[in-house]
Structures are given as structure tokens and as C-alpha cells.
Chain A
């Protein structure tokens, strides 16, 4: 039986599932973007919040799988059932290669991942004969298995929601497992972990690849929503945004990256419609977060709850209720 944490996630997903019932296409499509980029931010946060590695190349895996699917479907007419696994495989393969970056730490890790990310962006931009260059690849077909095709936005919304929910539940199991604990141990003190018999390199490499796989999955969900892909998808900007989402919402949590995604996507897609300085606003939001809520929205809520619980404890301390007597069995 799933326990409380898992039930909370399912409950939140059920709430999100009601969006198409009362909101129009604009909001449904915005929610899809929030979910997909939230998933990307969650993949970044496996490294950031648990292993303590700040990766700035996750747009590369995201774009790699999106481009693979787009090129296979549009140019070679490959059906979705093959294009999707191929996209995931290519994104993960890229993560297997880029995983060498876990040999570096701190600023060097950040710089190496930035450089790797730019390689992929450069390829999408310059290898025009294959990737379509600046124009990208357009007219990606609707997702279809055989004759069954998903053309409505609402139907695809539910597909995305289900996949993201499944992914989130799997992620939850992962971070609660011994493997997840090892990552947090490495974040705390690598030297201690080594002297206890751990190989930081091996665990971090596997974490990097898993994270790359998740980012690829987000890329696949994205391409069937957007139905076209261009170099902007692989851009540094996307990698940074994913990191910001994780920090804004709260690193090391599950809902955090999605909350961060809500804030950033709403600012970008809705506020920008009537407020031209939304980028400035985004900068301000980020500065306020770092200064006053370094643990993000979730951290803010948690500390507020802890403070309230402490206050309740000091006022209730006088009269503790006697324990309830067990009811006699009939």
C-alpha cells in the first residue's frame, strides 16, 4: 500500500487533472508545459538536491530525445512506438558520455556541463542539413499507436499527467532507497564516504545517467506537445531555467521543482502578456528567493509549519490529555 507521501502526490495529480474541466486551452497548454519542464527540473534536482552537483547541461538530453523523435518521425516516417524508445535511448546515451563530468567538482563541474551543453546546442544550430538549423524540424505528427491518434490537447494533457505521475512515484522510490541515501551522504562528505567503502565516482555516474534519462523522457513528452523543435530547446537558457525552478521550489524535494515550474512558467507565459518587464520580475523573484527563502517555497512552508508547531507545543504544555482507554472488545 502506498503511504502518506505517495498519496499526497496522487492527490495533487488528481487536483491537476481537474484543470481541463474549468479552464480553457491556454491554461491546459500552460499546465502541460509546467509539468514537462517541472519533470526536467526534477531530473536536474536528483543531482542538485541529492548528490550536490549543479548541472547546466540538461537541456542537451531534453533536446537530444526531442530531436531524435522529430527526425525519425518526420524524415524517416518511423512510427511512434519505435521513435520514442529511440529518443530515450539517444538521450540516455548522451548522458552516458557526458557522465564523465562527475570526475570534476564544484565550479569545474558547472563549467564542464555548460561546455557540454553548448556542444549539443552548436550541433543543432550549425548542422543544418540534418537538424534543420535555425528552423528546426516542423510538422511532427500527433502521437499515434497504429490507427489510434491523440489529436486533442486535453487528451494529451492526461497522457503527460500520467507519465509525469508515474515518473514522480518512481523518483520518490529512488530517493528513499539506499542508493538515494548514498547520494546525500556523498553530498555531505565524500572523504567520509570513501573511508566507509564507497566509490563516489560510480554512484555519481549512475545518478547522472538516471537524471539524463529523466530529462530525455521530458524531451519526448515535449516534442509531442510542441510538435516542432528548434535549437532554442537545446539552449543554455533552458538548462538554467530548470535549475532555477528547482531552487525556487525547493531542492531535495519532489513537489519543489514543479512549484518552481509553476512560478516561472506563469511569469513567462501569462504575466508577459500584459507586463513587458516580466524578465526583470523573474530576476527579482529569484533574488528574493535566494535572500529570504534559500530552501525555496517548500522550505519556507516547512519552516513556517515548524514554527507554528513549536508555538502550539509551548501553549499546550500545561494540560496534556490522559491517554484514551482501549475500548473493550464486544
Chain B
């Protein structure tokens, strides 16, 4: 299944549409993301950013259109199969396993793409190689000191970091980050954006972010969604001067 050559796109959307009854949440979106690219998705509330993410990661299927991930058509694959192909994601509201400890969370993230998740005769604590991946992911998001703590004792900011660590621990080829800084204090925003800036270059990053400072600092390409449609695609410099984008964000005055 690991098709795809070096010069193929990491992600290629063609005419992706998602309807909920009469509401067209995502309307004929086409988009290409190169491998290793830092791509930011912005747009006002209700623009369809998270819905588009959900179509890509497999929470639900698009009503029409095609999604190719490293040359594999994933439009009709189950979420778990997309995860196995290397699609990792985080959630707008941190989605971590609150009843477990930090290390248990990460062990599960590592085992997600591993057959050993079916193992019944050996304690999960004894899986040697897993511990290394857990340690690496935690170090990347700077939560090493929390390894054995229950998630319930983590602050919201730390939970967002853990959410990111979960996505990283599954060794994804592409990361889809849904507002990684939402709801964080300024100092925490700083830390999270720094962590994202330091992610390995070979991981493709697609990110939804409302904080323009963070978004434009990290981005190589920017896509602007409005009412489900792509109204702009270009570099961070261009987006600041684009009249249509200004209109959507600041109103036409």
C-alpha cells in the first residue's frame, strides 16, 4: 500500500464536497500539498476547515470528490486504515485518553499501527521497543517529566501537547493539526508553536490556525476557506495583501 514516489504530492484533493442535508459544508475543494510542506488552512468560523479535516482523516467520507494521500486513493477508506497509511491528527478540543496515564496514552498511540495491539499474554509494560518511541514523542513535545502521571492531572495546555505527542508517536507521514493553540495561554502558545516549528522536515504538516502571527510564521503555503470554498491559495506574503481575503476577515469597508 506504500505507493508514491518522491515527486508525488503528499495530499491531493480534487473536487471534495461534503453535504449535511441541505448544508454544503465543504464545496468543491481542490488542493495539493507537497511532501514536507507546512500548509496552513485559515478562514472564518464555519468556513468548513474542520469538516475538511474530518474528510481527509476519515471521520466521515466526502459526499463527492477524491482524496489522494501519497498517490493512494483514501476517499473511501476507514479512519483506522488512513491512520495506518500515516495520517496523524490532533483535535481542536484536546482529545486524549483522560482515564489513563501519559505513558499508557502513548503506548496505545505506538501500538495503533502494530499487530501487537492484539497481544493478550504479556503485560503492555514489558514491550521494550515501544518505550523508545514513547520517550521520543514525549521529548519532542516537552512532556518527558509527566511520563507516569495520570492525564487527569495535566493542564489543558499539557493535554494539547499530549494530543500532538499521540499523533507523533504513530510515526505519521503527514500531520493534521486542528487549531493546536486554541484555548491556550500566551506562554503556552509560544511553546506549542515552537514545538510545531521544530517538527522533523520529512513530516508534512497541514494546520488550521486562527492566530495569524503563529500561522503566518510557520506557513509555507496558505489556503483560505470561506463558506466551504477555497477563495485563496498562495504564500504567506500574498495572503496579507489579497483584497478578497481582507474582505472576508475584516469586512469590506
Q: Enumerate B88-146 residues with CB–CB distance to A below 8 Å.
A: 88-89, 91, 95-100, 104-105, 107-109, 111-113, 116-125, 127
Given A195-B83, A197-B80: A179 in contact with B117 (beta carbons within 8 A): yes
- In the complex, the answer to whether A178 meets B96 with C-beta atoms within 8 Å is no
Which residues in A have their C-beta under 8 angstroms from that of B84?
197
Given A181-B108, A189-B97, A192-B97: A197 in contact with B120 (beta carbons within 8 A): no
Interchain CB contact (< 8 A) of B124 among A177, A188, A195, A203: A177
Given A184-B99, A189-B96: A196 in contact with B109 (beta carbons within 8 A): yes
Chain A residues with a Cβ closer than 8 Å to the other chain, count: 24
Which residues in A have their C-beta under 8 angstroms from that of B96?
189, 192
A74 at the binding interface (Cβ < 8 Å): no
Q: Enumerate A171-188 residues with CB–CB distance to B below 8 Å.
A: 173-174, 176-182, 184-185, 187-188
A199 at the binding interface (Cβ < 8 Å): yes
B204 at the binding interface (Cβ < 8 Å): no
Interchain CB contact (< 8 A) of A198 among B98, B107, B117: B117
Query: Contacts A182-B111, A192-B95, A194-B59 given; 7 further ones with Cβ under 8 A?
Result: A176-B123, A177-B120, A178-B122, A179-B119, A181-B104, A182-B117, A192-B96
A116 at the binding interface (Cβ < 8 Å): no
> What is the minimal beta-carbon distance from A47 to any residue of chain B, in angstroms?
16
Interchain CB contact (< 8 A) of B112 among A173, A187, A191, A197: A197
Interchain CB contact (< 8 A) of B100 among A188, A196, A203: A188
Which residues in B have their C-beta under 8 angstroms from that of A191?
59, 91, 95
Sort chain B's interface into a size bin: 35 or more
Which residues in B have their C-beta under 8 angstroms from that of A185?
97, 100, 104-105, 108
Docked CA distance A255–B108 (Å):
26
> What is the minimal beta-carbon distance from B76 to any residue of chain A, in angstroms?
16
Docked CA distance A252–B107 (Å):
20
Given A181-B124, A188-B98, A188-B100: A196 in contact with B119 (beta carbons within 8 A): no
Nearest CB in chain B to that of A200: its residue: B80
- In the complex, the answer to whether B118 meets A198 with C-beta atoms within 8 Å is no
Which residues in B have their C-beta under 8 angstroms from that of A178?
107, 111, 116-120, 122, 124, 127
- In the complex, the answer to whether A188 meets B99 with C-beta atoms within 8 Å is yes
A193 at the binding interface (Cβ < 8 Å): yes
Nearest CB in chain B to that of A176: its residue: B123
Docked CA distance A198–B97 (Å):
14
B-to-A contact residues, CB < 8 Å: 57-59, 78-80, 83-84, 88-89, 91, 95-100, 104-105, 107-109, 111-113, 116-125, 127, 166, 170
Which residues in A have their C-beta under 8 angstroms from that of B111?
178, 181-182
Which residues in A have their C-beta under 8 angstroms from that of B124?
176-178, 180-181
- In the complex, the answer to whether B104 meets A197 with C-beta atoms within 8 Å is no
What are 5 inter-chain pairs, A to B, with CB distance below 8 A?
A178-B127, A185-B100, A192-B97, A193-B108, A195-B79
Nearest CB in chain A to that of B99: its residue: A188
What per-residue 1/0 map shows which CB atoms of A290-322 lie under 8 Å from chain B?
Answer: 000000000000000000000000000000000
- In the complex, the answer to whether A195 meets B107 with C-beta atoms within 8 Å is no
Docked CA distance A271–B8 (Å):
75
Docked CA distance A181–B117 (Å):
9
Docked CA distance A224–B233 (Å):
74
> What is the minimal beta-carbon distance from B222 to any residue of chain A, in angstroms?
25
- In the complex, the answer to whether A199 meets B104 with C-beta atoms within 8 Å is no
